Amino acid sequence: MARKKPAEEHENLERWLVSYADFMTLLFATFVVLYALAQSDVNSFKGIEEALRKAFSQSIFNDNTSIMEGQDSILDGSQGAMNPLMLEYMSTKYEQNAYEDIKNEIEKLKEDGLSAEIDDRGLVIRLNEHAIQFAAGGAELSQKSYEILSKVAKIIKDKFSIHYIQVEGHTDSDPISNPKYPSNWELSAARASRVVRYLINSQSFNPKLFIATGLADTVPVVPNTTSQNKAKNRRVEIVILRNKNKNLSQKDMQEIIKEVQVDQKKAKIQDKQPSKAIESLVGNDKELLKNVIDLTDQYETENKRLDSIKTGDYMYDGAKPEFMEQNNEGK
């Protein structure tokens, strides 16, 4: 007896819906995570950094004494998982929060003649005639002005290291003409440049961050109708430009970041002091002490690199570890 032919299976034409649904679910989850990261408060990063700082401040030896006083944070190095410079460079939320913090600090100095506002350009710190005192018809600053600028510089540097800063000089409408400054244009530009020069030479800002401009009497805050109004218009404004303007000039921001990283590293090395335990071991042998410091720095750098690899946050920049570069140079 012939075997009965099995019935043909019905072809499922809707199988693609399963894969499509899986794909859409993953895509939705991806965008949810990206949105959550974009909304993360920078204060949470500070909390994580502080916790890691405490966790990694122990010595590589068995006792609880740190090999170097003032250990670097695991997040501070160029190989760190969350480099603060990159956070400043990329995060608009960090930028906005920092603007708000600086604005609040500047408002505390209102009696000194300072004010601040946030606009489309960025954060505008305004120093009126009471805060920034120039010689009449000149660009020389008074001692009080240096003290005020020093306070402002510290507030800015606590938040920003690689933002462009535009310093603007403003005058009133009274004409000026002398051998040094034929008009308010030259005078306002000279005053802006004087402030920039102080911030670079005395406050260690990177000179490539600055733009100095003189606007004469073309941007008054109030009409130049009374002597009081003219006094308000004689001012200097320090504008911390938004990072969306990082292509504003021909300056290379990547090069600025590298230079700031080098300067920060030098400052940290100068601040490092050997612990008493290390001093007692090496005595007066400065060369041995230098080797201990160098080895400690390499140990910290590689710890940061390995930790960032474990967390999946490592961003390889093509550079070899410092000790490998040194070995290659010797070959």
Query: Of residues 289 and 18, which shows the higher confidence score?
Result: 18
- The answer as to whether 177 is a domain residue is yes
- Residue 106 in tokens: 């500047």
Q: In whole angstroms, what is the distance from residue 223 CA to residue 236 CA? A: 17
Judged against a pLDDT cut of 90, whether residue 247 lies above it is answered with no
Q: What is the rounded average pLDDT of the residues 194-200?
A: 95
- The answer as to whether 10 is a domain residue is no
Number of Cβ within 10 Å of residue 104's Cβ equals 11
- The answer as to whether 97 is a domain residue is yes
Closest CA to 152 of 129, 127, 117: 127
Question: Alpha helix locations (H) across 11-129?
Answer: 16-38, 42-55, 84-90, 92-107
- The answer as to whether 241 is a domain residue is yes
Residue 154: which CATH number?
A: 3.30.1330.60
- The answer as to whether 167 is a domain residue is yes
% of the chain beyond a pLDDT of 70? 59
Mean pLDDT of the chain: 76
Number of Cβ within 10 Å of residue 148's Cβ equals 20
What confidence tens digit (pLDDT) does each residue in 25-69 have? 888 888 877 776 666 555 555 555 555 455 444 443 444 444 344
Q: In whole angstroms, what is the distance from residue 153 CA to residue 36 CA? A: 33
Q: Residue 208 in contact with residue 150, Cβ under 8 Å?
A: no
Query: Of residues 304 and 217, which shows the higher confidence score?
Result: 217
Q: What are the φ and ψ backbone dihedral angles of 118, each rounded to 5 degrees? A: -110, 125
- The answer as to whether 147 is a domain residue is yes
* Residue 284 confidence (pLDDT): 63
- Structural domain that includes position 174: 86-245
* Residue 79 confidence (pLDDT): 40
- The partner residues of 126 in beta bridges, in order of sequence, read 115, 237
Which regions of the chain does DSSP assign to beta strands (E)?
A: 68-69, 114-118, 122-127, 165-170, 210-214, 235-241, 273-274
* Residue 182 confidence (pLDDT): 94
What confidence tens digit (pLDDT) does each residue in 92-136 have? 888 999 999 999 999 999 999 999 999 999 999 999 999 999 988
Q: Residue 169 in contact with residue 215, Cβ under 8 Å?
A: yes
Q: How many domains does the chain have?
A: 1
How many helices (H) and strands (E) the chain has is answered by: 11, 7
Q: Identify the three-state secondary structure at position 160.
A: coil
* Residue 65 confidence (pLDDT): 42
Instruction: Looking at mean pLDDT, say which of 13-22, 114-123, 247-256 comes out highest.
Output: 114-123
- The partner residues of 237 in beta bridges, in order of sequence, read 126, 168
Q: What is the rounded average pLDDT of the residues 76-82?
A: 42
- The answer as to whether 74 is a domain residue is no
Point out the least confidently predicted range of 95-109, 126-140, 189-203, 250-264.
Answer: 250-264
Judged against a pLDDT cut of 90, whether residue 170 lies above it is answered with yes
- The answer as to whether 233 is a domain residue is yes
